Structure 1
Amino acid sequence: MSLHPELIPRVTVDCATYPSLREKGVLITGGGSGIGASLVEHFCGQGARVGFIDLSQDYAHETARRVAAATGNQPHYEAADLRDIRALRSAIRSLSERIGPVRILINNAGNDDRMPIEDVTPEYWDERFQTNLRHQFFAAQAVIGEMTRAGGGSIINMGSISWMRGASGLIFYTTAKSAVMGLTKSLARELGERNIRVNSIAPGWVLTERQVERAKRIYQGKFSEYLEVQCLKEHLLPPDIARMALWLGADDSRLVTAQMFIVDGGVV
């Protein structure tokens, strides 16, 4: 099977404009590639002051260069391993100095690598939770003070529909992603009095470059088979997730909190 051009992740500029996002400080984790890079581009396109963190210095640099060229708005970045909470906190402090107080946090970073259940060790389990869940709490913890002082904000945690479907081969990922909803609910309850909203996005199978390459390598039939279970017969792309994040970050959703928004084309 050869991929059609519409399957290739693309830049989407034809979307709503949210005046309330202009000049707001936006922090995105895992912003160097995939959904994260699209988030960086979309928020820069709204005139926000964007900072992002990525594990890869090379990916981060290339994304920052490309986004600045496409939008005329230069994002700032820090390379850091989010499993290292001290490094995460340091990166957030550095970016806050450049973008101003963080008013919108998008906890996007994660990794859905697979492993047979028999091969999962306690050490690997713990590392997967560090990769997919723990940093979301500590990133939120690191910005709530400046959000409060600035008058409020929006935290968006990235979940997944994989746990709702009981996806196999990545039980450590589905378990962590199911916990994102509990984290979101509790943060929303605790931070509501500070005018901080907390929501989550649960994407379906989004055709990032990484996901496309893996599917092509392992099983190309997945492209057509996945569409069969979607109500809408079009593959999800990173901009589809970024557009939901724009709305959740903007004042248009000012009384929306403690919710999970499924963006999957109608799978679950």
Structure 2
Amino acid sequence: MSKILVTGATGNVGSHVVSQLAAAGLDVRAFARRPERVQAGVEAVQGDLTAPETLEPALKDVESVFLLWPGFSTGNAAEAVERIAGHARRVVYLSALVPGDEDAGGHYGEIEGLIRRSGLGWTFLRPGGFAANTLGWADQIRQGVVRWPYGQASRALIHEKDIAAVAVHVLTSAGHNGAAYAMTGPAELTQAEQVRVIGEAVGREVRWEEQPPEEARERLLAAWGDEAFVQSALEAWGSFVERPERATDTVRRLLGRPALSFRQWAEDHAADFR
């Protein structure tokens, strides 16, 4: 098998893709802004997808690419996909699952469109909510109270290790060309339940305190600065109260084992909340 290029190689998902490919003895190359953070023993190339010319040395002898586009802007994405198509034969793109639908939207959908038109063989991974997003509560978890809106919003959060394991499976096996896989964790939990599970994992009682959405809006605006993005996030969280994110069996079907539970994720990350 020819070389596999992993972009976003030091991130939550990409780092696990790299480590799982390397553990399997496969020829993997990591593409990262900070290559010194790539695990020892793995070939690493410095670069930035938003500067597509930096892809050229990374693409030498590459057959397959795991693509994770940075940020929410598609600027320079067309050139990056074109350069990948000039060297590789297939791409596995980490896209996203839109609430209530199995199609990607926003910048994820735009990049999917670029890939579809590129001539590359492709597979799209569309995970729902990332369990790792709950790390944003870490400071409040340490204080014993999480004050946040929509405590009854329910999602089937997925462990980043499962996303990576599916990516590795797709990269190293046949029969996935043209597939788009909607992926979640194995069970739906409300945000209040997620907080309780994290508390149990770290050995601390943590309670949920409902925050009015308008109060949360002010806090998020101060942190993110993008009013449209804040509004979109609040609307999405609110939608999961009446229309929970339903669990899929994609991980089980593809890997032959159950998806990792949110409790397992919390135990794996307990040190991050202490």
Say which one has the larger Rg.
2
Does residue 203 (structure 1) correspond to residue 123 (structure 2)? The answer is no
Change (3 A) 1:247 1:158: same
What's the secondary structure of 1:83's corresponding residue?
coil
Change (3 A) 1:144 1:229: closer
Partners in 2 of 1:225 and 1:175 — Cα distance? Answer: 26
Letter in 2 for 1:108: L
Structure 2 residue runs without a partner (length 5+): 141-145, 187-244, 247-274
Partners in 2 of 1:40 and 1:222 — Cα distance? Answer: 36
* Structure 1 residues 207-218: aligned runs within 5 Å: 207-208=131-132, 211-217=133-139
Deviation of 1:225 after TM superposition, in Å, equals: 5.1
Higher RCO (CA 8 Å, separation ≥ 6 residues): 1
Partners in 1 of 2:149 and 2:7 — Cα distance? Answer: 28
Letter in 1 for 2:165: R
* Structure 1 residues 17-166: aligned runs within 5 Å: 23-55=1-33, 57=34, 60-65=35-40, 74-86=41-53, 90=54, 92-97=55-60, 101-111=61-71, 128-130=73-75, 134-135=76-77, 137-147=78-88, 153-161=89-97, 163-165=98-100
Q: TM-score, normalised by structure 2?
A: 0.56
* Structure 1 residues 242-261: aligned runs within 5 Å: 242-253=164-175, 256-261=176-181
What's the secondary structure of 2:90's corresponding residue?
strand
Q: TM-score, normalised by structure 1?
A: 0.57
Q: Deviations over 1:199-224 (max 9, x none)?
A: 1111122233xx34324357576898
Structure 1 residue runs without a partner (length 5+): 1-22, 66-73, 113-127, 148-152, 167-172
Q: Which runs of 4+ in 1 moved over 4 A?
A: 217-226
Change (3 A) 1:79 1:257: same
Aligned-residue RMSD, C-alpha: 3.1
Partners in 2 of 1:182 and 1:213 — Cα distance? Answer: 31
- Percent identity for Structure 1 against Structure 2: 12
Deviation of 1:174 after TM superposition, in Å, equals: 5.2
Select the structure that is richer in helix: 1
Change (3 A) 1:182 1:164: farther
**Does the CA-based 8 Å contact 1:108-1:157 persist in structure 2?**
yes
